A and B are shown apart, each in its own frame.
Chain A
Amino acid sequence: MSAREREGELLGEERAVPPERALLDVRGLRVRYGGRGWGRGGGQLAVDGVSLSVAPEETLGLVGESGSGKTTVARCVAGLLGPGAGTLTFDGRPLGRAGRRPPEMRRAVQMVFQDPRSSLNPRMTVASVIAEVWSTHPVTAPEGDRTEALHRLLADMGLDPEVASRRAGDLSGGQCQRVSIARALAVRPRLLVCDEAVSALDVSVQAQILRLLVDLRARHRLAMLFISHDLGVVHQIADRVAVMRRGVIVEEGPTGEVLTAPRDPYTRALLDAALDLDDSVPGDGTADDEAVV
């Protein structure tokens, strides 16, 4: 650790994943919302020079408060948004511009959203949701019996085969999120971008989906960019964590180090404000009284 730290200082930046080993490599990402068009000023700089990388099979947690730019980074990586500047490299090759990515790049990076109810068409059956992605990416479509493949995929997500004929709108929140994950994994991606993927779920369901994501990550050897405001969840599942504030990454490192011995004052403030289950007596003045930034 100290050797790497010293090296990081010498280089002026700390890179946990050497670019040649990275699955995803993001350099100098800048995104401006509104304004008079690129390079002409105005608007709001949402992401201001973000660089990060994710190694194969690694999970990078991206944390920060609302407005920090973490979702904007996720949308750029998933190709839903074109950055104003910066490069996105996947497995050594450019990811391609948003909306014009080559199919294999679109397939390789899949996204799971916060609210499965708004990311799935409520009137489509689960079978047609999956059939749609298979027809978009025919290389991933099963060769033999599609129904059987669909049932296998659903079983992989902990869903009964009978769910296939149900409409997304008739499913519970947890089932919906499992279907969203099934849709993402149906095309055999290598990187899963999860944007607050468990935040909208009931507490008892949240644990199921986390467990599912961790199991799938191991079985399918997935890399993950896991965006969350919940430091506890990130601590459980991320290998490394990057902390964003106002469009820049203020700290990055192994999860255990960043969340137990933060070096940046903002990370420290976030940690101080984050609540743990507290069993001290309320009102006795000991509970996180100085937690305010």
Chain B
Amino acid sequence: MIPAGTAREHGLTKPSPATDGPPLRIDGLVVDLPGPRGTRVRVVDGVSFDVPRATTVGLIGESGSGKTMTAQAILGLPPEGATLSGRLLWHGEDLIAADPPRRRAVRGREIAMIFQDPLAALNPTQRIGRQVGEIPRRDRLPRAEVSRRVVELLDRAGVPEPKRRMRAYPHELSGGLRQRAMIAVALAGKPSLLLADEPTTALDVTVQSRILRLLADIQETEGLSMLLVSHDLRVVSHVAERVVVMYAGRVCERGPARDVLRRPAHPYTAALVRSVPAVRTRTALADPLPGAPATPANRPAGCAFHPRCPLARARCRGEVPAVREVAPGRWSACHFAQEVLGP
């Protein structure tokens, strides 16, 4: 059902029947947003990657990289006025072509989302239990059953004393507990894919490590797929098996997390890795990249990264690099990926 040429071009896993392909395949996703004075801004420009079964994929990028827009497109909640093209294949079914009722049926059920700010995502006027129980109630489970399920979900999300906490309003809980309550809401629809957008960015380190551990544990025991969107390489490196690095709306690099972070195949990834200071040893200050992250509205010609790239040369200014396989399992959008990878 997937033209072989497309798959090979984007380096996705082999085309296969819907039943045993990756649950989510993003294939040449393009998102255009209305810009100033009637222009259109391409905020996501031909992004392709897979989220395999029972695997955590880290989607890394800075502001303007398109990482959050990609996640919103997957969820079927792009901003007002956005137009989407390319394909978002959910078990082989294209969600971009699907009708709104079908997309709504997938969202919150098969694909659930965890946001950075639980206070904004949770309803401040409803008790936690009511929000966690929304999907079970919609499924017309008997009241006692709904309540049993809510306690079970809160417990699963690591909320202590779930019977008492289900009576609380979001503002009565600590940041970490709110995040856990939101995870319980997400799990209520028994999703097979969890989209987590900066789930621990607003939390203190001690809480962060507990939430990350919970997410990793849920992912593993429930056999979920997870797409973790984050700017924080440290967080991603602890949870993700695979990573996708985005810059200015395009994929720079993707591959197994450990390999990509140890031996980047794109100068941008290399710079990001270098800029992460070690906690337990004193590291020298990194030589910073010049300039600011490119924005989709002002995307440089050729390779969008070229004005900041230490390796840039004439070809980079004129030719947009394709994402190609530069080593087994390693995909890079750098004309000179071999040079970055080294011998």
User: CB within 8 Å of B: which residues of A?
Assistant: 65-66, 172-175, 202-208, 210-211, 214, 229-233, 235-237, 255-256, 259-260, 269-283, 287-289, 291-293
What CA separation (Å) do A173 and B271 show in the bound complex?
19
Secondary structure at the A interface, as helix, strand, loop or mixed, is: helix
- Contact, CB under 8 Å: A203 / B279: no
Residues on the B chain within 8 Å of A277, using CB: 233-234, 237, 261, 273, 276, 278
**What 8 additional pairs, Cβ within 8 angstroms, besides A274-B279, A277-B278?**
A65-B205, A231-B279, A259-B279, A270-B206, A273-B205, A278-B237, A282-B216, A292-B210
A236 contacts across to B, CB distance below 8 A: 277, 282-285
Which residues from chain A contact B292 at a C-beta distance below 8 Å?
Answer: 172-175, 202, 205
Choose one: A255, A276, A282, A293; the contact of B278 (CB below 8 Å): A276
Taking Cβ atoms with an 8 Å cutoff, the residues of B that contact A are 56, 62-63, 204-206, 208-210, 212-213, 216, 220, 231-235, 237-241, 257-258, 261-262, 271-290, 292-293, 308
- Looking at the assembled complex, report how far the CB atom of B49 sits from the nearest CB atom of chain A, in whole angstroms: 18
Task: Find out whether the CB atom of B206 lies under 8 angstroms from the CB atom of A282.
Answer: no
Contact across chains for A275 and B56 when beta carbons are under 8 A apart: no
Closest to A256 in B: B282
Whether A66 lies near B204 (C-beta < 8 A) is yes
Residue contact B240 to A229, C-beta cutoff 8 Å: no
- Alpha-carbon separation in the docked complex, A206 to B289 (Å): 10
What chain B residues lie within 8 Å of A279 (beta carbons)? 237, 257-258, 261-262
Residues of chain B lying within 8 A (CB to CB) of residue A292: 206, 209-210, 213
Query: Which one of A172, A174, A260, A278 contacts B234 once the chains associate, using CB atoms below 8 Å?
Result: A278
Whether B285 lies near A207 (C-beta < 8 A) is: yes
Evaluate whether A273 and B289 lie within 8 angstroms (CB atoms) in the complex, with A204-B275, A279-B261 already known.
Answer: no
What is the bound-complex CA distance between A87 and B281, given in angstroms? 35
**A274 neighbours in B (Cβ, 8 Å):** 205, 279
- Give CA–CA (A191, B69) in the complex, Å: 42
A108 to chain B, nearest CB (A): 26
Task: List B contacts of A283 (CB < 8 A).
Answer: 216, 220, 241
For A202, the chain B residues whose CB sits under 8 A away are 62-63, 231, 292-293
- A211 — which chain B residues lie within 8 A by C-beta? 285, 287-288
16 cross-chain CB contacts under 8 A: A175-B292, A202-B62, A202-B63, A204-B272, A207-B286, A229-B205, A235-B282, A236-B285, A275-B208, A275-B209, A275-B238, A281-B241, A282-B239, A282-B241, A289-B213, A293-B206
Nearest chain B CB to A289 CB, angstrom units:
7
Nearest A residue to B275, CB-CB: A207
A46–B162 CA distance with the chains assembled, in angstroms: 30
B204 touches A65 (CB 8 A): yes
Given the complex of chains A and B, what is the CA–CA distance between A208 and B279 in angstroms? 19
Choice from B62, B206, B216, B239 contacting A204 with Cβ under 8 Å: B62
User: Closest B-chain residue to A209, C-beta based?
Assistant: B288
Decide if B279 touches A232 in the complex (CB within 8 Å): yes
Instruction: State in angstroms the CA–CA spacing of A293 and B205 once bound together.
Output: 10
Closest chain A residue to B276, Cβ basis: A277
Known: A270-B205, A277-B234, A283-B220. A203 touches B62 (CB 8 A): yes
CA distance A123 to B220 in the complex (A): 50
Q: A66-B204, A279-B258, A282-B216 are in contact. Are A260 and B209 (CB under 8 A)?
A: no
CA distance in complex: A235, B288 (Å): 17
Residues of B within 8 A of A206 (CB): 275
Closest chain B CB from A168 CB (angstroms): 15
> In whole Å, how far is A288's beta carbon from the nearest beta carbon of chain B?
6
